[in-house]
Structure 1
Amino acid sequence: MLEGELYVDVGDKRIRLTPSDGELEIPAWHRNRVIPLPPSEDRKYTKFLLSGPGTDGPYMLDAIFYENYYRYMDQALSPGGEGISVVQVLCMFDRGGSCLALPKFIPFSMTLSKAMTVVIGRWLGGILGYQPYYKEWSTDWETAKQRMSTSVVQKRFARE
């Protein structure tokens, strides 16, 4: 946590983080959510670092994922924005090796969430023209293109 404050929900536990707190590790595949507190007179911004473990594969939560996801959210939710597309979010989460968590009362909710992310995000999204990464939002476009080229339905976006 660099500046401001935020809540982090990890499973059923809510944790308030401030700059004086240390690093918070969230185990892989745990339900989690980050909620910044509203700005105030003494707290104009919320700045925090996100990181995930590196992998050798094309699916990871890294700077390319975060750049694209948060720039998409900023655009989608800005005044005049088109709103959030679940297919777009699933497409991005798939490349991040993550998923949207379904409610806990649904049997096998995390397995179903992962399957939805691949089927709807990667396959259907790719066929319909949804990209996990966009050139205008990526500071490392060459890596983003290389990752997209590993998917049959996303290869065409790597040619831009």
Structure 2
Amino acid sequence: MKLEQLLSPDCTVCAVPGTSKKGVLQQISRIAANAFKTAKEKELLNALIAREKLSSTGIGKGIAIPHGRLLDSQQIIAVLITTETPVSFDAIDDQPVDIFFALFVPEDHCHQHLQTLAAIAAFLGDKDNARRLRKCTNSKQLFELATNQLD
């Protein structure tokens, strides 16, 4: 599955306010729940928190890829946000994070989940892509940049 098939304009938000790791995860869960009425915000948040307890999904250089598995879903949900200011996220390089690409996958999609995470990490790991994402001033611009770059 191509990444642009996962991301929707409703789940791409520029300059989200956030001051804490949990606050950002709550924002991501709220955005996903509002866009996909089949998912409940609390379930989404719990999936992200459960994964973060294993180890931080902050991959360094101001980027995090929070992800979680959903038990009663066959739908993959992706959320891309940037924050107004970088947030402490326990990243591997101890740097604050301002780009978050969250992914929620059905429990039984493990192989596809790993491939999608790898594609997201490769896209975000490119310093030019990250720089362009940070320069976006509105959600539409962020969505267009991401969907034109992701494949």
Provide the TM-score with structure 1 as the length reference.
0.30
Question: Rg bigger for which structure?
Answer: 1
Instruction: Return the structure number with greater helix share.
Output: 2
Q: Which has the higher contact order (CA 8 A, sep 6+)?
A: 2
Instruction: Return the structure number with greater strand share.
Output: 2
Provide the TM-score with structure 2 as the length reference.
0.31
